[in-house]
């Protein structure tokens, strides 16, 4: 038996023994997702147990080195773990910006001390992170950010304001872009720093969205002190890290997994006549959409395979982000049409408090957050097609 | 007739624009929503609208209205679309008045029209029973009983149905769901015994109602028009209402464009006004063009509605085109505003929400594109 | 009886007596159109007779003043003439760039002598004009044109090259934009001048298009002498005239009249099932197209009525030009689909030598000639929406 | 299997790109057209292609081919799309070989496959009888006669039908037009008595043929596969051909983008490079994205074709997506090139013409979107 085969058998057995039954069905909504953090309220004993057991093996972040709380798995082992988890429909034990974003950045740009300090807490779900990038006058144009960090010897004094900080009101620490040199041109003079959201001078204010939800905050820094040891990479060179992370984020947003096919929803709602959707115009629109959606799904597959084969994703991730988010907006416009006036309820049990309409409105942010569609198209035009500025 | 507003209509437009900007800015709808107002509109505003003559635009002078007609009604609806003024204008002054005018007996007209025009009585129409529009699909039954009728079944998504005084109900007196024949119109009191009304708060913060008819008894005089021929009377009135809905959608689209253009003129990014980016300029110019083209379809349909006769083709044209344009306008407005457009604090969200409700009301783009093709003979 | 009523009766009687029977059916194609000019070959005696008779009354240009060869009709009379001609399906006796373009410009900007010299010949169809605007390096960007006109006392010496000159090889005279001041900024320093295409130094070369047709030429000027008396308006102020004419042209191209409805073509080709087009997807696409087309038709009606009521068309004509040409391109893509592989024949009698395909390819120029779609959108953005430069 | 080209396929791609750029640039097609060449392709080129192994990519080694498979066939088709190389590759090496492989008897395979692979024999498929694709619509009759069959009817738009040596004909042995059952495949010599072939010059300067069968007699051994079950064998082969057509369309789209981007990088207007206008940048970036997304659908379908089995869903996906993208790419290329793109002297016109022919061949976007929906169960 090969090592990998043995790993598979052991993994299967361990999961069988350790994954609670209630964790063996897909998350039904926001409430089923474990974000971790100091103030996280577990939805159930099982949810807590599942996190602890997986974290004990480093399997919340399977490919991170063991010394930083990871599982130290090889790519092949990680693939097997994924397969085995899917086999029993096991939920992800932990979801966080620490895992997706800060972790990869620290692994690449952090010092050994920084990794030792922060990564294990991410892996165990003890600290929940948020991202401080956008500012009121620097939305798509991150390079013109104004939040100031003054060098005060062993700490930086931070003043300024961030906006669109996802879940800042629930986060414990922030990774933040700040301007450390105001005389420099836009992209230089920016640094990447970490600090505790409980520091004096930090305050957050949730932003109510048109969907009625408040996943984002305005975040204010008023003479906040950030220890110098938490500056990641070189001072004034934070832009390099930010760019690296944006690429990660883009790939994540473009790749939204496989939702229920639109046509299945339509079949349920509208029924078939002679094997075809009763509404022929909607059938046509859904077919057009699904042709794009299936082709896009294969594009993600191709991009991943290309990356595995050592290809450089580069600005291709901008294409995935742009195309995926536009598709998702289109999908939700069609879901509205499939559901007719029922989709337009906003309150009441029948419609689960307007879930269809609120989800539809939520998608409008897809092509704004994480770099607008316009910014992605600019990047494609300039970096891939090499069109002149 | 020239395809422009005449002087009288132009004057009405200016009056209406000024009135709603002054008396019913978007902040009024926001407040109604935040207060969880159970009426969903300001009764004071509605009274003032009636005093302005807006409730009686389709009611002739003998019955206390101005008889201004559909072009006027569309002009006022467009102004309401620009500020999202909430009122039972569409339900009562447009749909209610049109159906009463088309199907009512002399007695019903004499009773209802002056009350609609004065704003005293709110009338609404209950047609749909499923999530997808289609009058012919009506299954709600009206059986002869004791010299009158007994109504049983369900109506859903009835605009302002939670507060309307009178409900005009499309019911089946014979045949089966899907057939055009056998449908009849009945005038029912909202407080009638056996009629259960459930208020539903919609995405646009306005209120619709589900109505359950548990053997609601009405007299023979509740019948409007000829038994079994309800669709003949209803269709022309409904088509006219669709055109007025298209006019409100036009107001929404125009307002979205105006707000967006203003934002593009003021917002800076990368050190320059974002309105100088050609990508955004071209999209704004395309949107402008679609709105102007929609405006023509709507105005033409309103004029034809005033001229009388069958307006089905024009109504489906106007409703389809205005719906498609409103979808584009609201989506582009949100996207071009960037993050700020996503916040509840900013007004644009109210427009996209109202737009989808109106797009869907009395048939969306697909319904009317299909009907347009059928009426064009293909 | 009112004057107008009398005019109608007289006009009806005159048309009845003077319009040859063969001129009482719509033109079937290019060959049926009378362009006039020195070298025009009349297709029939009737065609010639019809032109002469109408020209004798000034009715080839009914609203131009009588002293310049026009009919001197009022707007109301002109409308009646149009109605009476349509009543008997009378063909237009004469079509020309002189009538559409140069005439209106001369009427507005020309001297009395210039009008006397040129307008009657246009009215009688004796001189056929072409328009010399675009140059190889000044397509959408007319202001950067390079054709040089040097002041030589009583004439200008013209050197340079024009492109996209419609029917230059068939025209007798050209109205031409030339640069008279090279030190001036782009829009100034341009003059509007007329000269004979038979002048020494003028040569033309037809451009073969992808449709296989050659309606345009390259036109070369090699030391061409143009008499100074034929400079229209002030020297260096030709841009004003060009702009005025472009607006005229735009309105003309946007307003293409009412072609056979797409749905009628589809009904013929595809047939109906239960009253609906057998191909449901094509039916949907045609309905979408026709909703736009009908709405656009009413937009032209509205624009005309607005102009009649004294409104200023202004940049609105850019919208008509943009929308109308894009619609027409879409229409021809749909005509291809309706006709399937038959539409893709290029030679042979069955397909009338590929008429469908050639017409389709012809439409691709609609959104380029007379100001590209991109230029129209720029104009809308700047002049109507007042977006910043 | 990874959704990328493997080393061997990558090498083939580079070879094919180099070969066609060198041996069959667009100027070759232009010359064939201007010379009114009655073959419509260069026989020398075809012979060289065969020597390169391109004619035998789908033929196994025992029969003289390379057995490279569909991914390889698609890679070569894409390269041909980039230079519009004219040859009977699609008709003979792809469709011909696939159908013979799927439906032919051992004897037929032994006779035809080596001859296809060597380029010696050109085989084509005759399906359609009207302007709109639909194998089931076949009405051409094959009646039993004298131990064999007699074929009567019309086939139209047969690619390279004017020069093909052998024609595989879909004919009806029972049932009526519209039915899937009752169709059979026959191998007919183009020069058979009673077969009238009319060459048609198409928009893309290539040649198709109309074929009139006036009681063409063939032997029993002309039948390919089982009588009445022709569609079962044909469908898989036809679907694979559709995917290869999609690959050629992909090459056209890519070439249009590349030419356009180059033009945008070089052409000045208003004193600046037009490629710096954001309006054009965004449209080019959108086109790039559509092409990449199409590329994935095509490659996936080619891989599934090599894996064997039913590929209908993938074929319709790839053909629909590649067709729609090619329509966008050719239209955008023409528009962004401005006036020069309209001239015959410039090459872009050749691309738009070839694109529409391929979009239409074996079913256009609508045909395949409809089929995609049906195969997806709605």
Query: Could you tell me whether strands C202-207 and C155-166 are parallel, antiparallel, or unpaired per DSSP bridges?
Result: unpaired
Residue D269 contacts B, CB cutoff 8 Å: no
Predicted model pTM: 0.90
On the question of pLDDT at A251 being above 80, the answer is no
Residue A353 contacts B, CB cutoff 8 Å: no
Alpha-carbon torsion angle D59, D61, D64, D69, nearest 10? 30
Q: What is the pLDDT of residue C2?
A: 86
Task: Kindly report the CATH number that applies to the domain delimited by D231-375.
Answer: 1.20.140.10
Query: Cβ separation of D345 and C347 shorter than 8 Å?
Result: no
**Residue C41 · residue C113 · CB < 8 Å:** no
Question: Shortest Cα distance from D246 to chain C (angstroms)?
Answer: 17
CA angle B83, B84, B87 (to 5 degrees): 120
CA angle A158, A162, A166 (to 5 degrees): 125
Between CA B2 and CA B13 the distance in angstroms is 17
Q: What is the pLDDT of residue C29?
A: 67
Give residue-wise pLDDT tens across range D190-242: 999 999 999 999 999 999 999 999 999 999 999 999 999 999 999 999 999 99
- The DSSP letter of residue D343 is B
CATH architecture of the domain B7-121 equals: Orthogonal Bundle (1.10)
Q: What is the pLDDT of residue D99?
A: 97
Chains interfacing with B (3 or more CB pairs < 8 Å): A, C, D
Which domains, and CATH codes, for chain A? Answer: 3-95 (1.10.540.10), 129-237 (2.40.110.10), 255-384 (1.20.140.10)
Q: What is the pLDDT of residue A35?
A: 93
H-type alpha helices, chain A: 3-18, 45-56, 75-87, 97, 103-109, 112-123, 238-254, 262-270, 280-308, 316-339, 355-363, 373-379
**For D264, nearest residue in chain A (alpha carbons):** A387
On the question of pLDDT at B236 being above 90, the answer is yes
Chain A residues 195-254 with CB within 8 Å of chain B = 207-210, 212
Query: Cβ separation of A281 and B366 shorter than 8 Å?
Result: yes
Q: What is the pLDDT of residue A257?
A: 47
Query: Cβ separation of D331 and C139 shorter than 8 Å?
Result: no
Q: What is the pLDDT of residue D370?
A: 97
Residue numbers of chain C with a pLDDT score lower than 70: 29, 139-140, 247-258
Residue C4 contacts B, CB cutoff 8 Å: no
Provide the 3-class DSSP secondary structure of residue C225: strand
The count of other CB atoms within 10 Å of the CB of residue B94 is 30
Query: Cβ separation of D345 and C345 shorter than 8 Å?
Result: no
From the list B3, B276, B281, which residue is nearest C301 (CB)?
B3
Chain B residues 189-208 with CB within 8 Å of chain A = 200-205, 208
**Whole-complex ipTM:** 0.91
Higher pLDDT, D262 or A75: D262
**For A334, nearest residue in chain B (alpha carbons):** B366
Q: What is the pLDDT of residue A256?
A: 44
On the question of pLDDT at A139 being above 70, the answer is no
State which of A300-304, A365-369, D332-336 shows the largest mean pLDDT. D332-336
Q: What is the pLDDT of residue B19?
A: 98
Between CA C89 and CA D284 the distance in angstroms is 47
Provide the 3-class DSSP secondary structure of residue D172: strand
Q: Residue for token digits 């089929």? A: D371
Tell me which of A84, A249, A333, A386 is the catalytic residue. Answer: A249
Q: Which of A139, D337, C367 has the alpha carbon at shortest distance from B282?
A: C367
Give residue-wise pLDDT tens across range B265-293: 999 888 899 999 999 999 999 999 999 99
Q: What is the pLDDT of residue D41?
A: 97
- The residues spanned by each domain of chain D are 7-121, 124-229, 231-375
Beta bridge partner(s), residue B171? B184
Q: What is the pLDDT of residue C25?
A: 83
Query: Cβ separation of D131 and C212 shorter than 8 Å?
Result: no
Q: What is the pLDDT of residue C369?
A: 87
Contacts of C380 in chain B (CB under 8 A): 285, 288-289
Beta bridge partner(s), residue A10? none
Contacts of D321 in chain A (CB under 8 A): 291-292, 295
What single string gives the DSSP state of each residue in A311-337? Answer: ---TTHHHHHHHHHHHHHHHHHHHHHH
Contacts of C283 in chain A (CB under 8 A): 280
Q: Which of C135, C214, C120, C130 has the alpha carbon at shortest distance from C179?
A: C135
From the list C284, C306, C381, which residue is nearest B285 (CB)?
C381
Q: What is the pLDDT of residue C350?
A: 74
Mean pLDDT across A306-319: 87
Residue B330 contacts A, CB cutoff 8 Å: no
Q: How far is CA D248 from CA D81, D86, D182, D206, D294, in A?
A: 5, 12, 32, 15, 12
The count of other CB atoms within 10 Å of the CB of residue A3 is 10
**Sign of the four-CA dihedral A12, A18, A20, A25:** negative
Query: Could you tell me whether strands C173-179 and D195-201 are parallel, antiparallel, or unpaired per DSSP bridges?
Result: unpaired
Residue C347 contacts D, CB cutoff 8 Å: yes
Residue C284 contacts A, CB cutoff 8 Å: yes
- Tokens of residue A372, six digits: 């607008």
Phi, psi of D331 (to 5 degrees): -65, -45
Question: Shortest Cα distance from A316 to chain D (angstroms)?
Answer: 9
Query: Cβ separation of B3 and C302 shorter than 8 Å?
Result: yes
Chains interfacing with D (3 or more CB pairs < 8 Å): A, B, C
Residue C280 contacts A, CB cutoff 8 Å: yes
Residue A164 contacts D, CB cutoff 8 Å: no
From the list D128, D157, D203, which residue is nearest C346 (CB)?
D203
Tell me which of C77, C84, C135, C249 is the catalytic residue. Answer: C249
A249 is annotated as an active-site residue: yes
Chain D residues 223-262 with CB within 8 Å of chain A = 261
Give residue-wise pLDDT tens across range A70-96: 999 998 899 899 889 989 989 999 998
Q: What is the pLDDT of residue C258?
A: 56
Q: What is the pLDDT of residue C257?
A: 47
Provide the 3-class DSSP secondary structure of residue C163: strand
Question: Shortest Cα distance from B305 to chain C (angstroms)?
Answer: 15
Q: What is the pLDDT of residue C253?
A: 43
Question: Shortest Cα distance from A286 to chain C (angstroms)?
Answer: 12
Mean pLDDT across B253-258: 98
CATH architecture of the domain B124-229 equals: Beta Barrel (2.40)
HEC-encoded secondary structure of chain B: CCCCCCHHHHHHHHHHHHHHHHHCCHHHHHHHHHCCCCCCCCHHHHHHHHHCCHHHCCCCHHHCCCCCCHHHHHHHHHHHHHHCCCCCHHHHHHHHHHHHHHHCCHHHHHHHHHHHHCCCCCEEEECCCCCCCCHHHCCCEEEEECCEEEEEEEEEEEECCCCCCEEEEEEECCCCCCCCCCEEEEEEECCCCCEEEEEEEECCCCEEEEEEEEEEEECHHHEECCCCEHHHHHHHHHHHHHHHHHHHHHHHHHHHHHHHHHHHHHCEECCEEHHHCHHHHHHHHHHHHHHHHHHHHHHHHHHHHHHCCCCHHHHHHHHHHHHHHHHHHHHHHHHHHCHHHHECCCCHHHHHHHHHHHHHCCCCHHHHHHHHHHHCCC
Query: Cβ separation of D201 and C207 shorter than 8 Å?
Result: no
- Tokens of residue A57, six digits: 């093996």
**Residue C377 · residue B281 · CB < 8 Å:** yes
- Tokens of residue C69, six digits: 């060869």
Question: Shortest Cα distance from B117 to chain D (angstroms)?
Answer: 49
Q: What is the pLDDT of residue A253?
A: 43
- Tokens of residue A365, six digits: 């942010």
Phi, psi of C231 (to 5 degrees): -80, 125
Residue A273 contacts C, CB cutoff 8 Å: no
Between CA D118 and CA D102 the distance in angstroms is 19
Contacts of D277 in chain B (CB under 8 A): 278
Query: b/e for A298-326, b at 16 or more Cβ within 10 A?
Result: bbbbbbbebeeeeeebebbbbbbbbbbbb
On the question of pLDDT at B127 being above 70, the answer is yes
Query: Could you tell me whether strands A129-132 and A173-179 are parallel, antiparallel, or unpaired per DSSP bridges?
Result: parallel
Contacts of B376 in chain C (CB under 8 A): 261, 263, 287, 290
Give residue-wise pLDDT tens across range D4-32: 999 999 999 999 999 999 999 999 999 99
Residue A287 contacts B, CB cutoff 8 Å: no
How does the average pLDDT of chain B come out, rounded? 97
**Residue B58 · residue B69 · CB < 8 Å:** yes
Between CA C36 and CA D347 the distance in angstroms is 35
Contacts of B279 in chain D (CB under 8 A): 278-279, 281-282
- Which of A341, A348, A361 is the best residue to mutate to test the B interface, defined by the most B CB atoms within 10 Å of its own CB? A341
Going through C133-287 in order, the beta strands assigned E by DSSP cover 148-151, 155-166, 173-179, 190-196, 202-207, 216-227, 231-232, 272-273, 276-277
Q: Residue for token digits 């577990």? A: A42
Query: Cβ separation of D378 and A267 shorter than 8 Å?
Result: yes
Query: Cβ separation of B281 and D282 shorter than 8 Å?
Result: no
Q: Which of D172, D173, D158 has the alpha carbon at shortest distance from D125?
A: D158
H-type alpha helices, chain C: 3-18, 45-56, 75-87, 97, 103-109, 112-123, 238-254, 262-270, 280-308, 316-339, 355-363, 373-379
Q: Which of D284, D291, D267 has the alpha carbon at shortest distance from D332?
A: D284
- A246 — pLDDT class (breaks 50, 70, 90): confident
Question: Shortest Cα distance from D160 to chain C (angstroms)?
Answer: 14
Question: Shortest Cα distance from A94 to chain D (angstroms)?
Answer: 29
Q: What is the pLDDT of residue A258?
A: 56
Give residue-wise pLDDT tens across range D102-148: 999 999 999 999 999 999 999 999 999 999 999 999 999 999 999 99
């Amino acid at each position: 038996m090969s090592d990998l085969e043995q790993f598979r058998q052991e993994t299967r057995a361990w999961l069988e023994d350790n994954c609670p039954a209630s964790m063996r069905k897909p998350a039904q909504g926001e409430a089923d997702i474990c974000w971790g953090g100091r103030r996280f309220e577990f939805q159930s004993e099982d949810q807590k147990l599942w996190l602890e057991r997986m974290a004990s093996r480093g399997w919340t972040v399977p490919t991170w080195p063991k010394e930083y709380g990871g599982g130290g798995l090889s790519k092949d082992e990680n693939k097997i773990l994924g397969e085995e988890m899917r086999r029993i429909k096991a939920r992800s034990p932990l979801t966080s910006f620490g895992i997706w974003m800060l972790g990869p950045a620290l692994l690449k740009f952090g010092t050994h001390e920084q990794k030792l300090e922060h990564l294990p807490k991410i892996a165990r779900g003890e600290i929940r992170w948020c991202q401080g990038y956008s500012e009121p006058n620097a939305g798509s144009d991150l390079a013109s950010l104004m939040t100031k960090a003054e060098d005060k010897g062993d700490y930086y004094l931070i003043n300024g304001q961030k906006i669109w900080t996802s879940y800042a009101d629930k986060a414990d620490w922030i990774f933040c872009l700040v301007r450390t040199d105001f005389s420099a041109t836009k992209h230089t003079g920016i640094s990447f720093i970490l600090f505790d959201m409980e520091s004096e001078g930090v305050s957050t204010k949730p932003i109510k969205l048109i969907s009625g939800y408040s996943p984002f905050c305005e975040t204010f820094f008023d003479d906040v002190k950030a220890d110098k040891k938490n500056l990641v990479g070189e001072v004034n060179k934070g832009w390099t890290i930010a760019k690296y992370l944006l690429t990660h984020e883009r790939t994540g947003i473009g790749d939204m997994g496989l939702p229920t096919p639109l046509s299945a929803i339509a079949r349920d709602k509208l029924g078939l006549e002679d094997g075809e959707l009763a509404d022929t115009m909607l059938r046509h629109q859904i077919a057009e959409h699904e042709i794009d959606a299936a082709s896009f799904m294969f594009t993600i597959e191709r991009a991943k395979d290309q990356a595995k084969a050592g290809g450089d994703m580069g600005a291709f991730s901008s294409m995935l982000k742009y195309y995926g988010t536009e598709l998702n907006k289109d999908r939700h416009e069609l879901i509205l049409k499939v559901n007719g006036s029922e989709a337009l309820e906003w309150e009441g049990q029948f419609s689960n408090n307007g879930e269809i309409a609120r989800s539809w409105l939520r998608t409008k942010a897809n092509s704004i957050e994480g770099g607008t569609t316009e910014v992605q198209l600019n990047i494609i035009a300039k970096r891939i097609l090499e069109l002149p500025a | 007739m020239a395809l422009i507003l005449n002087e009288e209509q132009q004057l009405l437009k200016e009056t209406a624009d000024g009135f709603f900007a002054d008396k019913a800015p978007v902040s009024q709808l926001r407040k109604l929503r935040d207060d969880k107002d159970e009426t969903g509109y300001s009764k004071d505003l509605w009274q003032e609208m009636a005093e302005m003559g807006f409730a009686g635009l389709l009611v002739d002078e003998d019955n206390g209205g101005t008889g201004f007609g559909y072009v006027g009604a569309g002009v006022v609806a467009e102004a309401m679309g620009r500020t999202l003024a909430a009122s039972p204008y569409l339900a009562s002054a447009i749909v209610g008045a049109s159906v009463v005018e088309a199907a009512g007996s002399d007695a019903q007209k004499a009773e209802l029209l002056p009350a609609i025009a004065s704003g005293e009585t709110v009338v609404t129409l209950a047609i749909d029973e499923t999530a997808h529009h289609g009058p012919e699909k009506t299954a709600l039954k009206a059986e002869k009983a004791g010299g009158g009728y007994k109504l049983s079944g369900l109506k859903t998504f009835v605009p302002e149905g939670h507060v309307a005084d009178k409900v005009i109900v499309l019911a089946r007196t014979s045949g089966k769901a899907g057939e055009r024949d056998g449908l009849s119109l009945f005038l029912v009191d909202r407080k009638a015994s056996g009629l259960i009304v459930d208020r539903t708060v919609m995405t646009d913060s306005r209120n619709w109602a589900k109505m359950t008819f548990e053997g609601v008894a009405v007299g023979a005089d509740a019948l409007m028009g000829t038994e079994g021929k309800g669709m003949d009377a209803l269709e022309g009135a409904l088509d006219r209402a669709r055109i007025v809905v298209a006019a409100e959608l036009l107001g929404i689209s125009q307002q979205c464009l105006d707000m967006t253009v203003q934002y593009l003129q003021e917002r800076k990014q990368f050190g320059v006004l974002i309105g100088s980016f050609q990508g955004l300029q071209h999209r704004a110019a395309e949107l402008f063009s679609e709105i102007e083209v929609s405006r023509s379809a709507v105005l033409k349909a309103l004029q034809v509605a005033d001229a009388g006769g069958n307006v089905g083709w024009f109504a489906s044209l106007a409703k389809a085109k205005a719906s498609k344009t409103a979808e584009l306008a609201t989506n582009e407005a949100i996207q071009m505003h960037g993050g700020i457009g996503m916040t509840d604090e900013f007004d644009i969200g109210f427009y996209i929400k109202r737009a989808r409700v109106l797009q869907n009301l009395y048939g969306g783009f697909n319904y009317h594109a299909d009907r347009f093709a059928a009426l064009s003979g293909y």
